[in-house]
Amino acid sequence: MRIALTKTFDFEAAHWLPTFPEGHKCRRMHGHSFKIDVVVEGEVDPAKGFLMDFGDIKAAITPIQNRLDHYLLNEIEGLSNPTAEMLAKWIFDRLRPTLPLLSSVRVRETCTSEAHYRGE
């Protein structure tokens, strides 16, 4: 049986988007309560009855979450232009080595705005 699991985490952070036009509200520094969905996908081990332990996903996420929470994202290496799209890829690239079943990362800046990255 093939299944996808999603683990959600959140963090608070500020950013500004340097590629937006002067005067645009996103060009000014502002903050979000970000929600991140990490999706792993694969075949369920019939002997175990599960794909992977949610705790293993949490363990992979925690150092990334700690690096982002309550920071100015623009100051983090690799996030000088921290759009939702770039943040989704940045998180995906850092999770991939520890989560080989990783299939996607979704970044929600607000309850109506999100970016969903599935890898290259």
Catalytic positions are: 26, 70, 109
C-alpha–C-alpha distance, residues 96 and 106, integer Å: 14
Contact 92, 105 (CB under 8 A): yes
Contact 86, 73 (CB under 8 A): no
C-alpha–C-alpha distance, residues 81 and 24, integer Å: 15
Look up tokens 């036009």; give the residue. Answer: 21
Q: Which tokens sit at 62?
A: 């925690």
Orientation of helix 54-68 relative to helix 84-95, angle to 10°: 130
